[in-house]
Amino acid sequence: MKIGARNVLRGKVKQLRHGVVNMEVIIEMPNGNEIVSMITRKSAEKLGLAVGKEVYAVIKASNVMIALE
């Protein structure tokens, strides 16, 4: 599948925090920055997420805000 979302960032799963129906996924990018994602547990199971697994963080452009220092 080819996704149209403008932001697709590669990284590895660093940590998984299990909620009852949701899952917090911490992704480490090659430069050491982290991206945090909150998805359903079912989605995490469907993807077979585990620490160390290579994943992409996918973000629609309309969900990116901008801030200044």
State the minimum distance, in angstroms, from the CB of residue 26 to a copy of itself: 9
Looking at residues 9 to 68 of the shown chain, list those that interact with a copy of itself (rule: CB under 8 A).
9, 17-25, 27, 29-31, 33, 35-40, 42-44, 46-47, 49, 53-68
Decide the pairing of beta strands 22-28 and 7-18.
antiparallel
Look up residue 42 and give its DSSP letter.
H
Query: Is the Cβ–Cβ distance between 14 and 27 less than 8 Å?
Result: yes
Please identify which residue in the block is written with the tokens 């290579």.
Answer: 54
Using CB under 8 A, list all residues that contact a copy of itself: 1-9, 17-25, 27, 29-31, 33, 35-40, 42-44, 46-47, 49, 53-69
